[in-house]
Structure 1
Amino acid sequence: MDWDYANPFVRAITPQPGDIDGLDHTNNAVYVQWCEQIGWAHSEQLGLNLDDYRRLDRAMAIRRGEYDYLLPTVLGEALMLATWLTGGDGKIAMERRFQLIRERDGVTVLRGRWDLVCIEISSGKVRRMPAEFLEAYVG
């Protein structure tokens, strides 16, 4: 696959009947759900899950999400979704990127980007990332 960045975290995805809208292609909201699912899976692979977020009273919240819907996908089509953490200030902010590729021809059908900010769950206020976040997410 021709990924935008090296070392992607990848999941295979196939649109199911409930993902398809009245135009007979994958509904745009479904792509957002897929990005959320792979973002959590990647975080867990890096060593942080929802229980860790609660224990630390910290979370990486989406401050801004952007999606470029380049081509439609259809029921049963084999797709590969990748994500990366591509930047951050090492204090409160990170960036996560997404790329969705159609397997049969290697064409990118979606690109996405999230600007993330660390918050204190109990107050919702922006706070510095704890050491565990820096170790897992920044390296």
Structure 2
Amino acid sequence: MKLSIPDADTLWDSLLPTRRHQQMLTVGPEHLDEMDHVNNTVYLVWCEGVARAHAERLGMGTEALRALGAVPVARQHVINYHRPALLGDRVRVRTALTVHAGLRSVRAYTIDRLNSSDPADLGVRLAECQTEWVWVDPVTGRPRRAPAEVIDRFGFGVQKQLPGS
């Protein structure tokens, strides 16, 4: 069952830069399975990687979050696969923090192929993923609300100003 939230690309342009991040990569032999396409588990690794890079970019990597007393742990991953990625494909992995409510946050991801023969900017959708994260105390493992600094750093404490407002 897919979580009922918008996909990353639906919200991408409307989100503050602190709520979104993307990475480009090229499919290598280490990503392939015996069917000569990217193994399903690799998509999840790519999603986790872009999420970590996003947090690090904002100074909210694991050690910083531990110091603040709350770290996210995955509760649910939902991945919809559309097309396989193949050796040499250029791939864009995007993540957008779409929801934050008390103990949980939700990230949406899109994975698109951006080869020279694909439509410019849009590419070809390979997969979409959503992860529900629950915030926990890193010492006790018990659920805990994300600290205000985390909420602010990831752009949930700030409302985007609309033109003319």
1:1-48 CA distances to partner (integer Å, 9 max, x unpaired)?
Answer: xx3322441110111111100000001111111111100111122231
1:132, distance to aligned residue in structure 2 (A): 1.6
Give the alignment's TM-score, normalised by structure 2: 0.78
1:57, distance to aligned residue in structure 2 (A): 2.7
| Correspondence 1:34 to 2:51 | no
| Correspondence 1:43 to 2:55 | yes
How many residues are paired up? 136
Q: 1:62 is aligned with what amino acid?
A: A
Q: 2:23 is aligned with what amino acid?
A: R
* Segment of structure 1 superposing worse, 98-107 or 7-16: 7-16
**5+ residue gaps in structure 1?**
none
Indicate the structure with greater strand content.
1
Q: Which residue in the other structure is 2:134 paired with?
A: 117
1:36-89 CA distances to partner (integer Å, 9 max, x unpaired)?
Answer: 110011112223111112212310111111111111001110111100000121
How does 1:1-139 map onto structure 2 within 5 Å?
Answer: 3-7=9-13, 8-89=20-101, 91-104=102-115, 105=118, 106-137=123-154, 138-139=156-157
The answer as to whether partners of 1:4 and 1:99 remain within 8 angstroms in 2 is no
Q: 2:47 is aligned with what amino acid?
A: C
- Return the index of the structure with the highest Cα Rg: 2
Give the alignment's TM-score, normalised by structure 1: 0.92
Extract structure 1 runs of 4+ deviating beyond 3 A.
none
Hey, what's the Cα distance between the residues in 1 that align with 2:145 and 2:69?
A: 11
